[in-house]
Every structure is written in structure tokens, then in C-alpha cells.
Amino acid sequence: MTGTKPHLLFTYGQILCSLLQTTQPEQRSEGLNVDSIREIKYLQELSHPSIVGLLDVFSTKDETINMVIEYFPHGNLEQLIKDRGVAYGAADVKAWMGMLGRAVYFCHANFVLHRDIKPNNLLIAADGEVKLADFGLARSFADPYANMTPVVITLWYRPPELLFGARHYSGAVDVWSMGMVFAELLLRVPYAAAPSDQELAQLDTICDAVGTPAEDNWPGVSSLPNYVSMDKRSSRPQHDREAWHVLAALRRLHRTRKGVQLGLISTDSIPRD
Ligand SMILES: Nc1ncnc2c1ncn2[C@@H]1O[C@H](COP(=O)(O)OP(=O)(O)O)[C@@H](O)[C@H]1O
Ligand SMILES: [Mg+2]
């Protein structure tokens, strides 16, 4: 959640809870932080075992909003990926991707785009379950004609249609981010980390990693508002064959916009270790 103060811990019934408090009064509209309103709205609507549960919300006299959320003692997947002292295998990655896939499917089935899927927003519960958090950039996509901003999703996890300025998009944008998370879990470094904080540099990095979008492999791409020809040769890095197969399936899924469940079927091709 954007603009949170450090968490306070207490118990709420049997559950150890974290209290998130919003700050940043400059972002407030009519007394409330806009991102906080979004987050509360969507967390209240989306009750699912793989999405963080909102237990309570209350405000104080200074108009601080307090969200009571289950406490996640093991931090987030970004911290876990970076911690070289932690070993994990293909079965763990399969389980985490399954949880993420079910969370994202549930959001999309309820016409909600998360728009900030990345390891830092996947929290690890006491029992090892991974839950999707941080709905500060989420929005409904129930109206297919509504214009949406393309400036969402943290750059390394942002799909090419948003980098080309698309104002109409679907759950496919979250599926792309899922693919980036999956690759990062396997490689233990971000898969498409641009060398600079620029959208063109991010597009270059994506082209180097997975190939160049053009009309023959992506009909309509040249009509996107900020399209520029990425006239480059693709050089695919070598990965584990099975993992590459699943990543390619997620990319196909992202292109064909068929929904997340197909991706979950594909993950069955990863052997358990
Ligand atoms: N309920 C929680 N329990 C434990 N840690 C949390 C909890 N909520 C958030 N965090 C930690 O704080 C980080 C930032 O929280 P997040 O909701 O994503 O806000 P931001 O918008 O600042 O990214 C998370 O990546 C996680 O490490
Ligand atoms: Mg976050």
C-alpha cells in the first residue's frame, strides 16, 4: 500500500496482525489517500486464500486510515529470492506460481486488474503460503471502453503494450508480470531488468530476452499510441528446457488473452523435486 508507516503488531482474536497506517497528506483527496481508498475497496471485495485478508479498517481524528491485515512474518518473495542463504526448488516455485495464478484468476474473474504484480508484493505467511498484496494501483476493467493509464506496473514487470502506451488493456498485463515473477524465481535475478529507468530501455531489454514485436508476430502492435519499431535481432538466453516451455506458455497466454487457468495447467510440466 503506497505511503504506509512501519507496521505495528498486535493480536486480533487468534490472528497476529499488522496495522498499516497511511501518511502522505499531499496525496489525499477530500481527506483520504486515493491509493488507500482503492486498496480498501478491492481488499474488501476480494476474499480469497491467496490474497491478503483485510480484517478491519478504522480512521483516527487526524484522518489517518488504519488497515488491520494478517501479519506476514517471512516478508516477501523479493527478500526470499535475494537471500542466498535460502535454498528452494522447482516444487516450491510450482506451488508459489499456483497460488499467484489462483489469486490473479480470482481478481480477473471479478473484473479487477492488480497492475503491480512483482515479488515485493507477494507476501509469505507463517505457514509458507504466498499471498498477493498491495492493491494500491488496482482498478476495475468491467467497462471495456474506458480509457486506462498505461503508466502502471513497476517497470521491470510492465508488458510491452503498456510501454507502447496502450489505453485499453486486459488481464493480460497481469499475466505478463506473472511470467516475469516466474522467470525471476527460477533465475534468482530479475528477468528483464532494464539498465535505466526509461521505457525504451525496458522495451530493448524485453526484445533482447524474448524477441522483437512486429506485425507478423503481434498483429496490431504498430497501431499502439507510442509504437516505435524495435528493429533488433532477438537473442534468447538459454534456460532449463521445462521452465522455458512454461514461460513460453505464459507469453502465449498473454498474447491470446485466454485467462490464467491455462497457465496453471502448463505448470504441471515442471517435475517435482
Ligand atoms: N501485513 C503485513 N505483514 C508483514 N509485512 C508486510 C505486511 N504488509 C506489507 N508488508 C511489508 O511491507 C512491504 C510494503 O508493503 P506494500 O503493501 O506493498 O506497500 P507499498 O505500496 O509501500 O509497496 C511489503 O513488501 C512487505 O514486505
Ligand atoms: Mg508494494
Residues 58 and 81 reside in one and the same domain:
no
Q: Give the C-alpha distances (Å, rounded to integers) separating 129 from 82, 94, 99, 124, 202.
A: 18, 12, 8, 6, 31
- Looking at the structure, do residues 95 and 169 belong to the same domain, yes or no? yes
DSSP 26: G
Residue 267 inside a domain? The answer is: no
The answer, yes or no, to whether any atom of ligand 1 lies below 6 A from the CB of 69, is yes
Residue 132 Cα to ligand 2 midpoint, Å, equals 10
Asked whether 76 lines ligand 1 (CB < 6 A), one says yes
What is the spatial distance between Cα 186 and Cα 165, in angstroms, rounded to a whole number? Answer: 29
One digit per residue, pLDDT tens: the chain, 273 residues? Answer: 555 555 677 776 666 677 776 655 555 555 567 778 888 999 999 999 999 999 888 877 777 778 889 889 899 999 999 999 999 999 999 999 999 999 999 999 999 999 999 999 999 998 999 999 999 999 999 888 899 999 999 999 999 999 999 999 999 999 999 999 999 999 999 999 999 999 999 999 999 888 888 898 899 999 999 999 987 544 444 455 566 667 777 777 666 655 444 444 444 443 333
What CATH number did the domain enclosing 239 receive?
1.10.510.10
Q: Find out whether the beta carbon of 65 lies less than 6 Å from any atom of ligand 1.
A: no
φ/ψ of 264, rounded to 5, equals -65, -35
Residues 102 and 193 in one domain: yes
66 lies in the same domain as 173: no
Is 190 a domain residue?
A: yes
Gap between the Cα atoms of 18 and 1, Å rounded: 13
Q: What is the dihedral of CA 195, 198, 200, 202, to 10 degrees?
A: 50
Considering the domain architecture, whether residues 103 and 36 belong to the same structural domain is answered as no
Count the domains in the chain. 2
Q: Active-site positions?
A: 116
Do both 197 and 141 map to the same domain? Answer: yes
Q: What is the pLDDT of residue 25?
A: 52
For the CA of 2, the closest atom of ligand 1 is 21
Same-domain pairing of 54 and 32 = yes
Is residue 66 in some structural domain? Answer: yes
- Same-domain pairing of 55 and 82: no
Cα dihedral sign, 13-15-21-22: negative
Ligand that comes closest to the CA of residue 15: 1
Ligand 1 atom closest to residue 3's alpha carbon, by position in its atom list:
22
d(CA 233, CA 267) in angstroms, rounded, equals 29
Range of the domain at 247: 77-262
Q: Which helix (H) or strand (E) holds 33?
A: strand 32-33
pTM assigned to the model: 0.83
Same domain, 217 and 148: yes
| 175 lies in the same domain as 228 | yes
Q: Are 140 and 112 in contact (CB under 8 A)?
A: yes
Same domain, 92 and 36: no
Asked if 42 and 100 sit in the same domain, the reply is no
8 A C-beta contact, residue 248 and residue 173? no
- The verdict on the CB of residue 123 being under 6 Å from ligand 1 is yes
- Cα distances (angstroms) measured from residue 1 to each of 36, 62, 167: 7, 19, 24
